[in-house]
Structure 1
Amino acid sequence: MATLLDWGNVDAAAAQIEKTLNLETRREAFSLLCVTSLLRIDFDEARGSITDGGEDRGIDAVYLDERFGCRVIHLFQFKCHSKFNGSNRNFPSTEIDKLLAFIGDCFGQVDGFLDTCNPLLRQKVLDIWDFVNSGACQVEVHLCSNGERLIPDHKARFESSLARFKFFQLHEADLDFLSDTVSHRTATEREIHLRIVEEQIYERTDGNVRAVIGTVCGDEFIAALTDPTKPTQLDPDLFEENVRVYLGEQNDINRRIYDTAVSNEAGMFWYFNNGITIVCERFSYQPGFKNAPLRLLNPQVVNGGQTSHALFQASRTSFASVQRVRLLVRIIETQDKSLYAKVAEATNSQTPIRSRDLRSNDPVLVRLEASLLKHEWHLDRKRDQHSKIDESRRIDALKLGQVWLAYVRAEPDKAKTASDRIFGEYFPLVFDPSEMDAKRVISVWSLYTEIEKHRRAKLQEARRASRLAAEQEIESAWIVEGLYHLAFAVRKLADRANIDIFDFDQVGPLIPEAERRLAEFVKDRPNISTYRLFRNAATKQNLFRASLNEQPQQLSLL
């Protein structure tokens, strides 16, 4: 049962968000706390997911997720109690029927359904329909509260009702769970257990580095790496130091891994695959034991992320086949954290796609941080590196990379869909020291924050708009997905006017005109979801022809 300490822990985290983001209510801060904590996304992305307000049909947030090797539709409902004495209340069962009605109408595409949704939810529904039509996906329903969970009988009724909809799962985040998440108690110590097949194990020690090599069963490997709170995915925390994100089943190599795992040749997997490399703080096992259990403390899969995710997908298709898979694993024990990155880079034979943390000490970023500090700005090379500094004087390196890619490099669709590559193959293109200096970064960041202010204002307008305000609806809702294209449109207007794109004083006033033209562009395409529109590489080209009235021959990329 949650305690007063848990209440204070979660409430303080929400209060900090409310203050930092200058929000109007604690409820809004609580909503962002839940979305960012559960989905591991930033506040700007989380804002764009919120649909809470009048005519929200019981859906307070929607997020379409294609990370971690899965395609997932996340539906949220929040209940925020203002006082500790409300924390002993169960999640209201009356909300179940609202959620079921929405799910039935949405996925049944009931006639007239869109007219019952507020502007932001309406756009999200269109995005959901497009998302579903693009391929198989899962739906996860999150009930988030700083109180108690559903009464067990009502939870059973809800799950029974959801069972008729395929690929639906229920997740509950109560006060106790959120307190764990906020305090990172669940992430401080992570231990997984593997079992070495037979006595096939080899151990080696060199100074402060120790390692074992052995064979494990595919099904036991997947079970050990599955997210304990979300059985529909592998635990992302175990892949933080991996240099690659999962590239999906459509990637040729991953498809072959998947096909082998579910085929009659599953028993030959060990011979076809390079295996997995895991680095951990400590491992232990009993030598000489048949099928020796192996305990790993705080492990990181630094090589074999593609294999891990492909096997996970295979296990959901044919678990019996994955039981026949044998997998080569190399486990390295070291207290030297710098060795994690070296092993990760050295064991990846492909062109390395390095994570943000691995790039955080790159000389370019270190020098940029020092240069920005002279102008009283702080660069977050790592996530939340300067969390105690006021947000108005902080620049997030990842977000900077995205807006630089969209605005300076004229690639808004890549900024939207390929953020995982900012610290990979796009790093030299974005963080080019011959082009990037502190003053230019401050100017581009100022543009981003000004555009973000416009987006927040439009989101507020959309939340206040009634379902009858169709014109308002179209003009407001697109900006949730179109922020980077808006920066791109500003760039093109600046080019047309021969304005220096790094002079924010001149570029900033172009935002309203770019916004107006982009809104007209979206309005002329009512049958295309904004989710798809702003992920399509052709949009930036069509935008100029239709909205900025440029001639085709002037459309070369910069």
Structure 2
Amino acid sequence: EKKTPALVREITVIDTNFFDRTDQNLRGIVCSVAALDIVDAIKSDVDPEQVETGIFDQNVRVYLKRKNRINRRIIESALSDENHMFWYQNNGITMTCDKVELGPSRRSPKIKLTNVQIVNGGQTSNCLFEAAKEDRSRIDDVILLVRIIETSSEDVKLSIAETTNSQTPINVRDLRSNDRQQRQLEDAFADLGYHYERKAGQHADKPLAKRVDALSAGQAYLAYGIGLPETAKKDRGRVFGDLYDTVFAEDLTAVRLLTSFKLAQRLNDKKKEVRKKIREGLQLRLGEMSLIDGAFHALFAIRQICGRDDVDLWDFDLVEKCVEEAILDVSKLYHDAQEADANFSSNRYFKDARTKDLITKLVG
């Protein structure tokens, strides 16, 4: 408590856009504030070009900078021609303080905050600071939602910091679940007699054999339909992230996604058989262990075999006949790599982009 800097800051409410309430020893104000007010509030008194990190002492997260994809979007949003949407698209920030002094004016009153801390919204605040450094005039019209809680209790402050940051996170897949493309795929799968789960567990009450998980299907398509097995293995989160438009392109059909998904299921069934053999201490075929880490490369091998033999990639009944050959090809490469390298790592082998080139060469 003694180490936390006693910062005093002042912000101005936009017109009459504020709500003030009191509950026993707590006071709360919800208001709309100009983004530049927040930028100035977190500015260091010593060096105006830097952020006063002390104002985030009770925030549970440090600033993740531009390397964080969401932060890059916040900065781009603040500087864009559509930045009037910022208030509607951003969750805003939460501040705690020992004392709130609300100016007498009903229109655009000034709020003085004593011993203020930003306990939620640190990423947003820092992003606005960066955006202002790039072009302060561009964010002049950006408005932010702010919640202020006045309390002298350190326990309450810490409780607010914890609870406002511990709600169930929304992942990228959830954010995409209502996209037009996802809804269209759901309808198309229904016509094929399947339940497409654009949201995780969406059709938990339906037979498992007829459920198609969007992430798993996209991951399989990334390996089989697009030819990126190493990415499917090590970066499945990118399916609904930066590779979303690549995987779920406008020309993607439910049949293509379903074929990829069903082939992946067949390989997963084979993987389960290998694991069962391991549990029971049974002898494995040479290279059979490759399925544990290399299922997506087996998918890629199927793709290459189909290309060599001029087989329609999306005719599951025809493609399924290539599964065994694909497994044998990947197993052979796996075994040869094991023999050649005393420090062989299965995980590393299938994360290496060059492994798929070996598969292409072997299939011929």
Checking the alignment, whether the CA contact within 8 Å between 1:196 and 1:294 is kept in structure 2 is no
Distance of 2:174 and 2:227 partners within structure 1:
26
Are residue 292 (structure 1) and residue 111 (structure 2) matched?
A: no
Q: Residue 320 of structure 2 corresponds to which residue in structure 1? A: 508
Q: Residue 496 of structure 1 corresponds to which residue in structure 2? A: 308
Q: Residue 225 of structure 1 corresponds to which residue in structure 2? A: 60
Distance of 1:377 and 1:283 partners within structure 2:
48
Of the candidates 453, 465, 472, which is equivalent to residue 281 of structure 2? 465
The alignment of Structure 1 onto Structure 2 pairs a total of residues equal to 263
How far off is 1:475 after superposition?
3.1
Checking the alignment, whether the CA contact within 8 Å between 1:280 and 1:300 is kept in structure 2 is no
Q: Residue 299 of structure 2 corresponds to which residue in structure 1? A: 487
Checking the alignment, whether the CA contact within 8 Å between 1:278 and 1:301 is kept in structure 2 is no
Distance of 1:410 and 1:394 partners within structure 2:
24
Paired AA for residue 8 in structure 2: E
**Equivalent runs, 1:51-130 vs 2, <5 Å:** none
Q: Secondary structure at the match of 1:384?
A: coil
Q: Secondary structure at the match of 1:501?
A: coil
Task: Report the structure number with the largest CA radius of gyration.
Answer: 2
Paired AA for residue 202 in structure 1: I
Q: Residue 419 of structure 1 corresponds to which residue in structure 2? A: 236
Distance of 2:11 and 2:57 partners within structure 1:
22
Paired AA for residue 299 in structure 2: A
Q: Residue 444 of structure 1 corresponds to which residue in structure 2? A: 260
What's the TM-score, normalizing by structure 2?
A: 0.61
Paired AA for residue 199 in structure 2: K
Q: Residue 367 of structure 1 corresponds to which residue in structure 2? A: 184
Are residue 410 (structure 1) and residue 220 (structure 2) matched?
A: no
How far off is 1:370 after superposition?
1.6
How far off is 1:293 after superposition?
4.2
Gaps of 5+ in 2: 19-29, 43-50, 73-88, 101-111, 130-142, 148-170
How far off is 1:209 after superposition?
6.5
What is the root-mean-square deviation of aligned Cα atoms in Å? 3.7
Distance of 2:285 and 2:53 partners within structure 1:
50
- Spell out, residue by residue over 1:501-549, the C-alpha distance to the aligned partner (whole angstroms, 9 max, x if none): 101101112111111111110000113211111111111002232x32x
Q: Quickly say closer, same or farther: Cα 1:408–1:294, change in 2 above 3 A.
A: closer
Q: Quickly say closer, same or farther: Cα 1:300–1:431, change in 2 above 3 A.
A: farther
Q: Secondary structure at the match of 1:482?
A: helix
What's the TM-score, normalizing by structure 1?
A: 0.41
Are residue 388 (structure 1) and residue 205 (structure 2) matched?
A: yes
Q: Secondary structure at the match of 1:410?
A: coil
- Spell out, residue by residue over 1:316-367, the C-alpha distance to the aligned partner (whole angstroms, 9 max, x if none): xxxxxxxxxxxxxx97459xxxxxxxxxxxxxxxxxxx92222222211111
Q: Secondary structure at the match of 1:452?
A: helix
Q: Secondary structure at the match of 1:475?
A: coil
Distance of 1:372 and 1:510 partners within structure 2:
25
Paired AA for residue 387 in structure 1: A
Distance of 2:54 and 2:245 partners within structure 1:
40
Checking the alignment, whether the CA contact within 8 Å between 1:379 and 1:394 is kept in structure 2 is yes
Of the candidates 249, 253, 257, which is equivalent to residue 432 of structure 1? 249
Paired AA for residue 352 in structure 2: N
Q: Quickly say closer, same or farther: Cα 1:400–1:304, change in 2 above 3 A.
A: farther
Paired AA for residue 60 in structure 2: L
Distance of 1:474 and 1:403 partners within structure 2:
25
Q: Secondary structure at the match of 2:185?
A: helix
Q: Quickly say closer, same or farther: Cα 1:198–1:224, change in 2 above 3 A.
A: closer
Checking the alignment, whether the CA contact within 8 Å between 2:60 and 2:119 is kept in structure 1 is no
Distance of 2:303 and 2:71 partners within structure 1:
31
Checking the alignment, whether the CA contact within 8 Å between 2:297 and 2:350 is kept in structure 1 is yes
